Chain A
Amino acid sequence: MKRVYVNEQWCLGCHLCEYNCAFANSGLTDMVKALKDKPIYPRVHIEQSGDITYAVSCRHCKDPLCVKSCIAGAINKQDGIVKIDKNKCVGCLTCVLVCPYGAVRPGPTGVAQKCELCLENSCGEPACVKGCPNNAIVYEER
């Protein structure tokens, strides 16, 4: 299954992925309207270790702890993609507690959110990958 992978050798730490992600998941067609003067809640985030930066997003684990741990039964895996049912989620953040990658975070309304590979948002292909200026994030089969 194709997944999002990061190659930290090429990550510039520009954070564009975060903004592209927030925009793609905003449901709006204009980035300015979607993101201007608002805090953003991207599903991918840049971490830094010394001079090295890299993007972290859901790994869609083979055996996902978040799915097993969700107290609301709101997380499931469909066709290899771990998805959160945001209507069912009550924002207890047990998924944050168990995600070994720190890839699940609360969204603007307090319910948990994470990368779902942009398959259901306006973008249709991972926006972080599409917008990465240096191919540091790729979407491929490994």
Chain B
Amino acid sequence: MIDQYIYPEFEVVRNQSRCISCRVCERQCANEVHRYDTDLGVMLSDESKCVNCQRCVSLCPTHALKIVKSDCRLRENANWSDQTIKEIYKQANSGGVLLSSMGNPKPLPVYWDKILINASQVTNPPIDPLREPMETKVFLGKKPDKILRRANGELITQLPPQIELSMPVMFSAMSYGSISYNAHASLARAATELGICYNTGEGGLHEDFYCYGENTIVQVASGRFGVHKNYLEVAAAVEIKMGQGAKPGIGGHLPGAKIVGDVSRTRMIPEGTDAISPAPHHDIYSIEDLRQLVYSLKEATDYKKPVIVKVAAVHNIAAIASGIARSGADIIAIDGFRGGTGAAPTRIRDNVGIPIELALASVDQRLRDEGIRNNVSLVVGGSVRSAADVVKAVALGADAVYVATAALLALGCHLCRTCHSGKCNWGIATQRPDLVKRLNPDIGSQRLVNLMNAWRHEIKELMGGMGINSIESLRGNRLMLRGVGLTAKELEILGISHAGE
């Protein structure tokens, strides 16, 4: 059977009058798109292999290259889009589930972009962050409901364990295995320099990174890979991963081919075996079961570390969060449907889950309504793209946000969404040594630090504009937000008024 031919999605446009045949594109393309033809004396391209990662475009010293969307299209059909038809061809060719990477690219509503931030004018003057102190520090963990005193009147100052963050942003879970050693090193170093946290994901913690433990959140997921005593002890907090925004309801699968060397050792599984994280935790079928795991981990870490429970944003998220808040967890992390992934079935990624903005608003409201908001901190992720998104998330009720896609972009990712191929030309989502070395953590960590420092400045500017000098005063302050182009129902869920109101 011959596969149905599918015309390449991209075209490599080479400006021959600028190309100096230096072959940098050829050497840098792990997909082997470019090659030098010695007979013709020119560079040629095999566009069928191009994933539009832009590595060649970025490195071409004469800027002779661009990658454009191919305009070879099937007959227009509003119902049967070009992509839909080609996906059917692919499945008819292969019989397989379609795979994708990174976040949901569909044109579903981005509520961040329909929310606008307030600014002070006459009666409540704005604050200039360059002249006045501006606090961006946050503490994550259970907070006491009221002030407690001892019999002699002394204040009880002992708090449950907290994570201290210099700003309300953390790098979210990405496992060593799904991303490279150097990507991990970049995140760990940057988090430490910034005074925030990064997250190991379900890949265990490479021994080289134990030194960054105070800024490391370690994950315990359904596969329990890499979990052992030291792993839990070295961390700032432990996160139980129940679900992931990009693929709610399903587990993970890192193919055996990627379980080599250090990845195998760090995951504590034999080389070459598939690392399959089951969809459920096989010991958790109720909030009570979850509570058991939460307390097992607290017990194992001497009640010194907060325990985070991470779930995907799904339809009953408010009720789920309420349950988690009662399970003993210190922090709830909610991952929206636009969150990224190293590999997910396309249909799941694109059709399962809900937007984080709505999930956050409803969870925060529910926990307040139930009087248990102080039981937990709320961390949200799933495509927080800018300082403005951070400010909006905090105003909607988040204690902090998780960012991953933005962090990867800082490391060089061009969102080509082919992480699952393992041939990341930017040295991020790959274990191939020749590709991994393309990400020098000296550069990577510096770019992450730059990005976060830029965001911190912007957060301060936005807060100052609102006349707020501390992130704590912004949290849940929905009066600072207004919606545009939203329905009454959407505004109701978000708990904000429409612009102009």
Contact = CB atoms under 8 A, between A and B. Distances in A.
Contact of A135 (B20, B433, B440): B440
A135 B182 CA distance: 14
Contact of A51 (B58, B59, B434, B443): B434
A37 B18 CA distance: 10
Secondary structure class of chain B's binding surface, majority of residues: loop
A32 interface: yes
B62 interface: yes
A35 B20 contact: yes
Interface in B405-446: 433-434, 437-440, 442-443
B451 interface: no
B20 A36 contact: yes
A134 interface: yes
Interface stretch (A15-23, A74-82, A93-101, A107-115): A15-23
B487 interface: no
Contacts of A15: 22-24, 27
A68 B17 CA distance: 45
A79 to B, nearest CB: 29
Given A36-B20, A51-B434, A14 B62 contact: no
Contacts of A18: 22
Interface string B1-31: 0000000000000000111111110011000
Nearest to A20: B61
Interface residues of B, number: 23
A134 B440 contact: yes
A20 B438 CA distance: 19
Chain A contact patch, size range:
20 to 34
A41 to B, nearest CB: 14
Contacts of B433: 51
Interface string A124-142: 0000000101111000000
Contacts of B440: 10, 134-136
Given A31-B62, A32-B62, A134-B438, A16 B443 contact: no
A13 interface: yes
A2 B20 CA distance: 31
B62 A133 contact: no
B442 A19 contact: no
Interface in B26-50: 27-28
B61 A133 contact: no
Nearest to B443: A135
Contacts of A131: 61
A16 B442 contact: no
A10 B17 CA distance: 31
Interface string A47-59: 0000100000000
A111 to B, nearest CB: 24
A35 to B, nearest CB: 4
B28 A14 contact: yes
A9 interface: yes
A12 B439 CA distance: 10
Contacts of A12: 27-28, 434, 437-438
B434 A14 contact: no
Contacts of A51: 433-434
Contacts of A35: 20, 22, 62
22 contacts: A11-B437, A12-B27, A12-B434, A12-B437, A13-B27, A14-B59, A15-B22, A15-B23, A15-B27, A16-B59, A16-B61, A20-B61, A31-B62, A32-B62, A35-B20, A35-B22, A37-B20, A37-B21, A51-B433, A131-B61, A135-B443, A136-B440
Interface of A: 9-16, 18-20, 23, 31-32, 35-37, 51, 131, 133-136
Given A31-B20, A133-B438, A135-B440, 17 more contacts: A11-B437, A13-B27, A16-B22, A16-B59, A16-B61, A19-B20, A19-B22, A19-B24, A19-B61, A31-B61, A32-B20, A32-B64, A35-B22, A36-B18, A51-B434, A133-B58, A134-B443
